[in-house]
Amino acid sequence: MKTKFAFLVSFLAIVMVMPMSGQDMSKKSNMKDMKMNASSDMTAKPTFEATTAGLHLKVWIMAKGEGMKDNDMSADKASSEGMMAGSHHIMVAVTDVASGKEVTDATAKVLVASPTGKSSSVDLKTMMNQFGGNLTLDEKGEYELTVSLEVNGVSNTTPFKYTVQ
């Protein structure tokens, strides 16, 4: 009986180890590498990029598709509408030039001046080591946008233009 039990345990141990021995261990990646790739390397070219006051900013502005605006598959419609508000989505990545590290312990907002002079501002939320939010750019023409950051009590503003066609 002891030999059958020992044989069974040995057999199960071998069966459990075999799948792991077939894995390619030369391409190890840890969670830090995955986090870095997911957050700081967006595949699209930034809409705007600048370095000011020791901070490097990359800004992406993406128009939302009609299907995205009208999607109502959420059980909580109010929450869904809040997330999908606006015509465009903005993402801002901020890097400290001296250290090369992403800046996430900051507050960020974007000030928007429409082609007809209407002004608004949007507080950006931290999203995967970047800052993001939704904008309503419902007029055609050139917008003046200003990214306003506060990092360690120091304010920094960076203006740029964006055209809606």
What is the reported pLDDT for 123?
97
- Structure confidence by residue, pLDDT tens digits, 139-154: 999 999 999 999 989 9
Report yes or no on whether pTM surpasses 0.75. Answer: no
Alpha-carbon gap, residue 61 to 63, rounded angstroms: 7
Residue indicated by tokens 């360690």 = 152
For residue 133, which of 36, 27, 59, 78 has the smallest C-alpha distance? 59
What is the reported pLDDT for 75?
40
**Segment 74-86 mean pLDDT:** 53
What is the reported pLDDT for 3?
73
Is the model more confident about 72 or about 158? 158
Residue indicated by tokens 């015509």 = 87
Which domains are assigned to the chain?
43-164 (2.60.40.2480)
What is the reported pLDDT for 16?
63
- Structure confidence by residue, pLDDT tens digits, 6-57: 666 666 667 565 655 555 544 444 434 433 334 444 568 999 999 999 999 9
Alpha-carbon gap, residue 40 to 100, rounded angstroms: 11
Is residue 96's pLDDT more than 60? yes
Radius of gyration for the chain, computed over Cα atoms and rounded to the nearest angstrom: 24
For residue 158, which of 149, 150, 98, 16 has the smallest C-alpha distance? 149
Within a 10 A sphere around the Cβ of 136, how many other Cβ atoms? 14
